[in-house]
Amino acid sequence: MIRILLLLLFISTLAGSFAFAKDKDREDLEYKGLPNWSEFRGFVLEQQREDERLGLSYMISGGLAAVGGVVGYNLAEDPFSRSVYAITSTVGIAAIGLGASYYWTGNEYDSFYYALEHANISIQEKNAILKRYLEKERQWRENRRWIRVATHALIAVANFYSAAQEENSDVKSVFYFLGAANTVMAISYTF
């Protein structure tokens, strides 16, 4: 029973790490050009096409994983296999949701783009507003990055503390793994 619980904890940690990694990839989506409306417009339209493609791929692969997980769960007889299939199905459903989010809501630039694209203002005014928006957005990204560093560092400390207090060597290993994984994640956000 302890093996199953440890495996479930390990797999859910990997799934969570994958979600954080994908979120980090989305954070890397940043317009780094000059505050020029025409360039920004091209960037946003290209990213919208990419969001739709990415969203569809997540929904399709997530659907396959969810269906495969349900079928596998119903065909499996031992608790270990059923647990793995249940997790697969859950991750598949999460991927469908993530894909739907990318496909239908896009990214953080879309709302700003649509608010200004059809506004009755000059290109110079759009460029000035874009410049202020980009300055604020870069400040927001920097704050968010340091909050994530602190969050993962605290999770790492909590897991290392739990490992130091735990007597069961299998559970202790899981806590050390989680502590190390969160230490790596905290360090990765500093770059």
Percentage of residues of the chain with pLDDT beyond 70: 85
User: Within 10 Å of residue 136's Cβ, how many Cβ atoms?
Assistant: 10
DSSP calls for 64-112? HHHHHHHHHHHH--SHHHHHHHHHHHHHHHHHHHHHHHHHHH--HHHHH
Reported as a single tens digit per residue, the pLDDT across 152-171 is 999 999 999 999 999 988 88
Reported as a single tens digit per residue, the pLDDT across 125-153 is 999 999 999 999 989 989 988 999 999 99
Given a cut of 70, whether residue 103 has pLDDT beyond it is yes
Reported as a single tens digit per residue, the pLDDT across 56-75 is 999 999 999 999 999 999 99
The pLDDT value recorded for residue 24 is: 46
The pLDDT value recorded for residue 65 is: 94
What total number of domains does the chain contain? 1
Cα 134 to Cα 86, 120, 169: the distances in Å are 43, 21, 50
Instruction: Quote the domain boundaries for residue 165.
Output: 2-188
Question: If pLDDT is split at 50, 70 and 90, which confidence band does 4 have?
Answer: low
- Residues near 173 by beta carbon (within 8 Å), at least 6 away in sequence: 163
The pLDDT value recorded for residue 55 is: 96
